[in-house]
């Protein structure tokens, strides 16, 4: 019952803000746009140039899954900034939910949506065949990425205007998902330390379970450091 009340309050908070309202449905629009691109634009380009795009088509899924997590992460960050301005987190700390309950509730909202959009993007785009366990795992990484983005924005932005500017800079992290295309060893090694790379690598190599473990480790390290910083800052 408490969870439903919080969900309703979250939706009201999102719908009151035009930017957050757009961002919450933007992943769906992105999926549709890229599906149309795969159906019509890719074949058209291939009739114009003698370059086979198909070996790289799975990067479409990489990009969409990653951006779903990123956009929803921005929503999380903005909601937490609103809560900070309204001292909601402080009020929650004296309720049965507590500060930890508030944080879990806030972070899970966008994370669950990220899982939904990631799974939807796989089946709608239909550009690569993956084992179901890989689909779920990539969706999990996307949800963790949304939490990471949200915490980064909340940590380094004082308000939503700065948050929007900072979000644009944070999105440069997505470039690490495509470094293998450049075939530069040093850049690939650098990419190991950033969550987007592992979304890409696992989609590219779905049967390498070592990648699953390493990807989860990197994401959890980022998550641990950001949550620890949150507790220190808010305590």
Name the residue with higher pLDDT: 7 or 78: 78
Q: Is the pTM of this model over 0.85?
A: yes
Quick check: helix, strand or coil at residue 126? coil
What ranges do the domains of the chain cover? 54-234
* Closest to 118 in 3D by CA, of 154, 152, 144, 150: 144
More confident call, 5 vs 27: 27
Buried b (16+ CB within 10 A) or exposed e, 86-123: eebbeebeeeebebeebbebbbebbbebbbbbbbbbbe
Sign of CA pseudo-dihedral 79, 218, 203, 57: positive
pLDDT over threshold 90, residue 69: yes
pLDDT tens digit sequence for 143-195: 999 999 999 998 888 777 788 888 888 888 888 999 988 889 999 999 999 99
pLDDT at 159: 78
Report the C-alpha gap between 203 and 137 in whole angstroms. 10
Distance between CA atoms of 19 and 14, rounded to whole angstroms? 8
């Amino acid at each position: 019952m408490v969870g439903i009340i919080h969900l309703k309050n979250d939706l009201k908070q999102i719908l009151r803000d035009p930017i957050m309202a757009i961002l919450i449905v933007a992943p769906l629009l992105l999926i549709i746009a890229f599906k149309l691109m795969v159906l019509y634009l890719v074949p058209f380009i291939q009739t114009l140039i003698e370059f086979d795009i198909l070996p790289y088509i799975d990067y479409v899924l990489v990009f969409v899954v990653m951006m779903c997590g990123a956009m929803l992460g921005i929503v999380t960050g903005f909601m937490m900034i609103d809560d900070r301005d309204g001292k909601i987190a402080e009020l929650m700390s004296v309720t049965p939910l507590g500060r930890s309950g508030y944080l879990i509730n806030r972070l899970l909202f966008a994370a669950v949506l990220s899982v939904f959009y990631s799974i939807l993007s796989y089946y709608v785009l239909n550009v690569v065949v993956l084992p179901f366990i890989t689909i779920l795992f990539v969706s999990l990484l996307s949800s963790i990425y949304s939490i990471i983005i949200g915490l980064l924005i909340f940590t380094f932005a004082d308000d939503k205007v700065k948050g929007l500017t900072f979000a644009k800079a944070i999105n440069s992290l997505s470039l690490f998902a495509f470094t293998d295309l450049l075939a530069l060893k040093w850049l690939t090694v650098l990419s190991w330390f950033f969550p987007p790379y592992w979304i890409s690598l696992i989609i590219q190599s779905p049967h390498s379970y070592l990648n699953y473990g390493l990807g989860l480790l990197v994401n959890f390290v980022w998550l641990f450091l950001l949550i620890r910083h949150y507790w220190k800052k808010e305590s």
